[in-house]
């Protein structure tokens, strides 16, 4: 078991580039594999989650070179060129891989099985298997609706018009990928905006989409054309440093080449509402995705009621935002975020328990948290194998009164290989043991 030991205090300074965007890395391999021609990827996240996707497509006969320094070459086989894997596809801790692949594989001619680690095998999958069944897919799961997922091939899918009960980019993307193989049109309506990397990449590869407010449609039976993809730095990984520099006096950081897709910038909006000093520099477009350098300086934060419309746009960043709230003056309330309870861990309960262990007044609610800002003590917390919780508590040490030990941190490698080294270079006193 990996434990982080973090000494209190310090400041974050300098320029750094966090690893590539995990969501875009997943999709670049998936869609590159289904495209006709060779897709060249740079900035690919060499974390365990993204590698799980890459290895799954290798197991289905796709010729993939790398990763080598973030560079990957995918020789696409076309929409109907995948081959039956020799065994179950092990997706480790990656919920994105499992949910998106369930849609993609539902349209194949062969049977397949999706498995993962203990955390992934306990996560809810009915949110994808039920709408896929409406499209004609046959997927077997446990009685609880969890993996292993056994997907029966050779089924003719049909397009549906589906309204998401909860805003979820993973479910939306799953159904769009199934729609590539379906007869007729597949339309997905979402109650609030979610990340749109799948739609952007499909369009970039020449697939016709209809997009309007809250709705995206595509017609089955098209083709994808290979492109070069430059993966920007992941704003979800940048979030830990945005919070760390905001709460630590004397901090000033520039985070380079960060993706600023408007469906992902909730963390910027929420931190700015709390008083954070964050500036976007050299805003530009890279392969259809907006990118900027983010300059963040220390600033006194104050508690807020987090706007409900920002929740889907910051769903992965709330562990870090809870730390910002603990360091802010006054009360911060989050509601409408019940999705946090079914992530890699129950992020509401696990963050609440950890903050309380450090002396913070943090009260979990069914769909969020109420946090009273104040001093953070030292102590020991358990990440429950959740990479984002581990990194969030590491940043909390910048304002802690004593050292913080964080247990079960090995899964940081799923999204942020090299976190300890990069954070140490920026000024955080963290070691892994």
Per-residue pLDDT of 49-80, as tens digits, reads 999 999 999 999 999 999 999 999 999 999 99
Q: Which CATH number fits domain 4-20+232-432: 2.170.130.10, 3.30.300.30, 1.10.1240.10, 3.65.10.10?
A: 3.65.10.10
Length of the chain: 433
What is the rounded CA–CA span in Å between residue 326 and residue 323?
5
**What is the model's pLDDT at position 287?**
82
CA distances from 171 to 87, 175, 307 (A): 25, 6, 23
Residue among 130, 122, 175 nearest 148 (CA): 122
Is there a catalytic annotation at residue 316? yes
Residue spans of the domains in the chain: they are 4-20+232-432, 22-230
For 355, how many CA atoms within 13 A lie in the half-sphere containing its CB? Answer: 29
Mean pLDDT of 208-219: 96
Per-residue pLDDT of 240-293, as tens digits, reads 999 999 999 999 999 999 999 999 999 999 999 999 999 999 999 988 899 999
Count the helix, strand and coil residues of the chain and give each as a percent rounded to the nearest 5: 35, 25, 40
Sheet with 361-365, strands from edge to edge, namely 331-334, 368-372, 361-365
What is the rounded CA–CA span in Å between residue 338 and residue 5?
30
Q: 22-230: same fold as 4-20+232-432?
A: yes
What is the rounded CA–CA span in Å between residue 262 and residue 271?
15
Per-residue pLDDT of 292-340, as tens digits, reads 999 999 999 999 999 999 999 999 999 999 999 999 999 999 999 999 9
Backbone φ and ψ of 239, nearest 5°:
-55, -35
What is the rounded CA–CA span in Å between residue 216 and residue 195?
12
Torsion, Cα 19 231 235 342, to 10 degrees, reads -90
Residue among 386, 426, 428 nearest 410 (CA): 386
Single out the catalytic residue among 196, 230, 293, 316: 316
Alpha helices in 212-315 (DSSP H): 235-247, 266-273
**What is the model's pLDDT at position 114?**
98
| Residue 115 DSSP one-character state | E
Backbone φ and ψ of 41, nearest 5°:
-110, 135
pTM of the predicted model, to two decimals?
0.93
Per-residue pLDDT of 367-403, as tens digits, reads 999 999 999 999 999 999 999 999 999 999 999 999 9
What is the rounded CA–CA span in Å between residue 86 and residue 352?
43
Torsion, Cα 171 239 24 424, to 10 degrees, reads -130
**What is the model's pLDDT at position 288?**
85
Give every CB contact of residue 212 below 8 A, 6+ residues apart in sequence. none
- Domain formed by 22-230, architecture: Alpha-beta prism (3.65)
């Amino acid at each position: 078991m990996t434990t982080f030991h973090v000494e209190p205090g310090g400041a974050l300074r300098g320029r750094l580039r966090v690893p590539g965007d995990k969501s875009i890395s997943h999709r670049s391999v998936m869609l590159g594999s289904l495209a006709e021609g060779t897709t060249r990827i740079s900035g690919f996240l060499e974390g365990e989650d993204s590698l799980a996707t890459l290895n799954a497509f290798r197991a289905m006969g796709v010729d993939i070179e790398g990763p080598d320094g973030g560079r990957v070459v995918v020789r696409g086989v076309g929409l109907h060129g995948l081959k039956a894997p020799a065994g179950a596809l092990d997706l480790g801790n990656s919920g994105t891989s499992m949910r998106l692949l369930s849609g993609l594989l539902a349209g194949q001619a062969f049977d397949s099985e999706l498995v993962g680690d203990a955390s992934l095998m306990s996560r809810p999958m009915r949110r994808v298997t039920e709408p896929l069944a409406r499209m004609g897919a046959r997927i077997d799961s446990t009685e609880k609706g969890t993996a292993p997922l056994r997907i029966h091939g050779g089924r003719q899918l049909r397009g549906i018009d589906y309204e998401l009960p909860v805003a979820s980019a993973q479910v939306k993307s799953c159904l769009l990928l199934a729609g590539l193989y379906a007869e007729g049109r597949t339309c997905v309506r979402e109650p609030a905006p979610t990340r749109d990397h799948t739609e952007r990449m499909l369009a970039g590869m020449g697939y016709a989409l209809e997009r309007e407010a809250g709705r995206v449609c595509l017609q089955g039976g098209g083709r994808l054309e290979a492109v070069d993809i430059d993966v920007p730095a992941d704003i979800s990984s940048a979030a830990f440093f945005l919070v760390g520099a905001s709460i630590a006096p004397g901090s000033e950081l520039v985070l380079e080449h960060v993706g600023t897709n408007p469906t992902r910038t909730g963390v910027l909006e929420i931190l700015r509402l709390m008083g954070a000093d964050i500036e976007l520099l050299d805003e530009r477009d890279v392969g259809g995705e907006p990118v900027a350098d983010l300059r963040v300086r220390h600033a006194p934060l104050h508690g807020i009621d987090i706007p409900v419309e920002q929740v889907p746009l910051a769903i992965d960043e709330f562990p870090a935002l809870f730390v910002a709230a603990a360091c802010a003056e006054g009360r911060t309330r989050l509601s409408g975020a019940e999705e946090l309870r079914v992530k890699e861990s129950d992020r509401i309960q696990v963050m609440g328990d950890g903050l309380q262990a450090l002396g913070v007044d943090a009260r979990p609610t069914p769909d969020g948290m109420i946090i009273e800002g104040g001093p953070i003590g030292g102590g020991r917390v358990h990440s429950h194998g959740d990479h984002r919780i581990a990194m969030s508590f590491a940043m909390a040490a910048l304002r802690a009164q004593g050292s913080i030990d964080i247990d079960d941190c090995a899964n940081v490698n799923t999204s942020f290989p090299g976190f300890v080294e990069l954070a140490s270079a920026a000024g955080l006193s963290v070691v892994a043991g």
